[in-house]
Amino acid sequence: NAEYSSKLAVNRCLRAIKEKKVKNTSGTDTDVGCDIICVHSDTPNAVEILKALREKISPNKSSKETKNDSNHSKMPYIEDNK
């Protein structure tokens, strides 16, 4: 798979979360519920997308904080071991 623009992915996720809408392939909006965001692990820059999304959702939390933080139960702890 090719890399996917992390900025575009984050913008689409935030719109789904805030407005409960996504733009479909015909260019019109579709109403959606948004309880879970799925980033496929075979996307080469999946970790980059997740980190960018977490930064937008929780800008005051670092990715080094514990994963048991109750404010982040829907955004998993991300650790890049590179």
Tell me what pLDDT residue 31 has. Answer: 96
Global pTM value = 0.68
- Residue 16 CA from chain centroid, whole number: 10
Binned at pLDDT 50, 70 and 90, residue 8 comes out as very high
Binned at pLDDT 50, 70 and 90, residue 34 comes out as confident
Mean per-residue pLDDT, 64-74: 48
Q: Tokens 């999304």, residue?
A: 53
Q: Is the pLDDT of residue 81 over 60?
A: no
Mean per-residue pLDDT, 36-57: 92
**DSSP string across 30-41:** EE---S-----T
